[in-house]
Structure 1
Amino acid sequence: MLRVVVLGAAAGGGVPQWNCGCPVCRAARTEHPELRSTQASIAIGTDGDHWFLINASPDLRQQLIATPQLHPKAGQLRMSPIAGVILTNGEIDAVAGLLSMREGSPFTIYAHARVLAILKANSIFDVLAENNVRRQPIEIDQPFEPRLPDGSPSGIEILPFSVSGKGAWYLEGKVHPGGNDAAGDTIGLRIKDKSSGKFFYFVAACAVVTDELKTRLAGAPLVFFDGTVWRDDELIAAGLGNKTGQAMGHIAMSGDQGAIAALDGLDIGQKVFLHINNSNPALLRASSERKMAERAGWQIAADGMEIVL
């Protein structure tokens, strides 16, 4: 049995964002606290005792407090059921939470070599001593089985694959610690329970839905997909920024080239948007955008959401 817990569903900054007074953030602070969401991450597990995180958001400590499955076992002074963290990119909202895991519990970081190079180049991540926190490189289109702390197999198979995207924004105009080849900056994951054969896809960042990606996702029982913005010029139109979704490496939900249209007709069992920006009107339950997404068969992820396959 494959269990998935959404630790956070929001894009960078969360909802409400600390310095934002947009309609969604205002509503989240006042009459609609249910809109509040932490930055995107999920936990996966098959045995109820060991869990792996997909990305470690800056809100990780808050997320762990809110998730009983990830609490230390009663009667043990120092332990964690978290056996590892799989990183899909090197953005701040995917890696900063690692710094909240520096208190000595062993686990493994699984990431593409380009993302591991970013961690190595930044000495602040040295607080995660490598004799206690292993850093395991993963390769595109090469499945791997993350290990439990005692070295035994987890029973989970993870297949990383490339998706269209961008490198970490804070490296724009700078030399990338991992070199010039951009392959590996943004990846998706197929996550499979080896015992039951159940699987799902996790794609938290994606700039374009290619034919190859459509073929990969077709017929999947569950897909978590990039839901950052509703429309490509959303931040500009709202006066919240000067970049389009495409410029940030994120496809829009709507439009002829958006995720809803691109993934329509692929016989996906359950379609869930996550990594949703505070600017996105689909967060508002009464909005026309939310209703349009739901009519197309999409769910909007929320913190604490749990799915069992």
Structure 2
Amino acid sequence: MLGSAAGGGFPQWNCGCRQCSLARTGDSRVRPATQASVAVTGNGENWLLIGASPDLRQQISQSPHLWPRTPTRDSPITDVLLIGGDIDAIAGLLVLRERQPFTVYAPVELLDLLATNRVFDVLDPTMVRRVAIRPMEPFTCAGNLTVTLLTMPGKVPLFLENNRNAAAEPESAATYAAQIQTAGRIVIVAPACADITEPVRTQLSQADVLFFDGTLFTDTEMIAAGLGSKTGRRMGHTPISGPDGTLTRLADLPGRRIFLHINNTNPILVNDSPERRAVEAAGFEVAYDGMEIDL
């Protein structure tokens, strides 16, 4: 786990909420966190990044597995999979511009997004391949990994929304989760999901380890804190609590269930909070930067 926080990280640079204040004062009940990104390998040598966080340079510096292997430019990062188009999911590509060969895998609409933003031209096309992938069509990449793109209910990235009315319905669009299989085990990374439908539950039930959208504890969390005017679902995220929340809808999944992409307003960031205790009592875990899982 390179980063476990939602966009803006934790503490967020301009936020003085309770959780951010605790983090700034070094309170032992909270852990500062960078923006969500996951690194996976099936052979210990070649690594796939799921999501390209704006904090990627810091995350690589804090992860010895991802350090260069020789005195030359020789990164073990061989592939990057994009599963969302928001800034906190793609901006980290700009960190990888120093003429290092790797492959970017993404659905067509996300590759089109990169193509229409000229800043991403800093990725030398003679070094960085861009490969279009389709949902539900497995492909293999370095590191003995088989990857399948899963479709999740979602919305378009914020910067592409045409309607800026916070009370309006979001412009619906598919977002994606990554299913990674290696040595017969399955990991699913789903940092954004607007609604846990029955098809979504069926897909997620295959996971031995599930990293799932933990952005907000309640749907109106941002509004109640006076920090925003949108509900969680309006932003494309299922709340953890409530009758249609994650604790209820994914209660019976057989594998490990770990919340990531956790917003700075979410009280599960505080170890002794009632919300954190409720999550753990329900059998869920809370991700943290540097978390390692061996399958």
Tell me whether the two structures share a fold, i.e. TM-score over 0.5.
yes
CA–CA separation in structure 1 for the residues paired with 2:172 and 2:78: 28
The answer as to 2:137 corresponding to 1:142 is yes
Paired residues for 1:1-309 under 5 Å: 6-32=1-27, 34-73=30-69, 75-146=70-141, 148=142, 154-173=143-162, 185-193=174-182, 196-218=183-205, 220-267=207-254, 269-309=255-295
Shift of 1:79: 1.2
Shift of 1:32: 2.1
The amino acid that maps onto 1:25 is: C
TM-score w.r.t. length of structure 1: 0.90
The amino acid that maps onto 2:226 is: G
What is the aligned length?
287
CA–CA separation in structure 2 for the residues paired with 1:219 and 1:261: 18
Shift of 1:155: 1.9
CA–CA separation in structure 1 for the residues paired with 2:117 and 2:50: 21
Shift of 1:200: 1.4
CA–CA separation in structure 2 for the residues paired with 1:81 and 1:286: 38
- Contact conserved, 2:186 with 2:208, CA < 8 A, in 1? yes
CA–CA separation in structure 2 for the residues paired with 1:264 and 1:182: 26
TM-score w.r.t. length of structure 2: 0.94
CA–CA separation in structure 1 for the residues paired with 2:56 and 2:74: 16
- Contact conserved, 2:50 with 2:178, CA < 8 A, in 1? no
The amino acid that maps onto 2:19 is: V
The gaps in structure 2 that reach 5 residues or longer are 164-170
Shift of 1:78: 1.2
Shift of 1:266: 2.4
Deviations along 1:4-24, one digit per CA (max 9) or x if unpaired, are xx0000000000000000000
Deviations along 1:173-205, one digit per CA (max 9) or x if unpaired, are 18xxxxxx965x411121001xx2111111110
Deviations along 1:227-272, one digit per CA (max 9) or x if unpaired, are 00000000000001111101100000000010110001122x2110
Shift of 1:76: 2.2
Deviations along 1:202-228, one digit per CA (max 9) or x if unpaired, are 111000001011112225311000000
Q: What SS does the aligned partner of 1:35 have?
A: coil
- Contact conserved, 1:27 with 1:35, CA < 8 A, in 2? no
Structure 1 ranges of 4+ moved more than 4 A: none
Give the % identical residues: 47
Shift of 1:31: 2.9
CA–CA separation in structure 1 for the residues paired with 2:84 and 2:283: 27
Q: What SS does the aligned partner of 1:27 have?
A: helix
Q: CA RMSD in A?
A: 1.4
The gaps in structure 1 that reach 5 residues or longer are 1-5, 149-153, 175-180
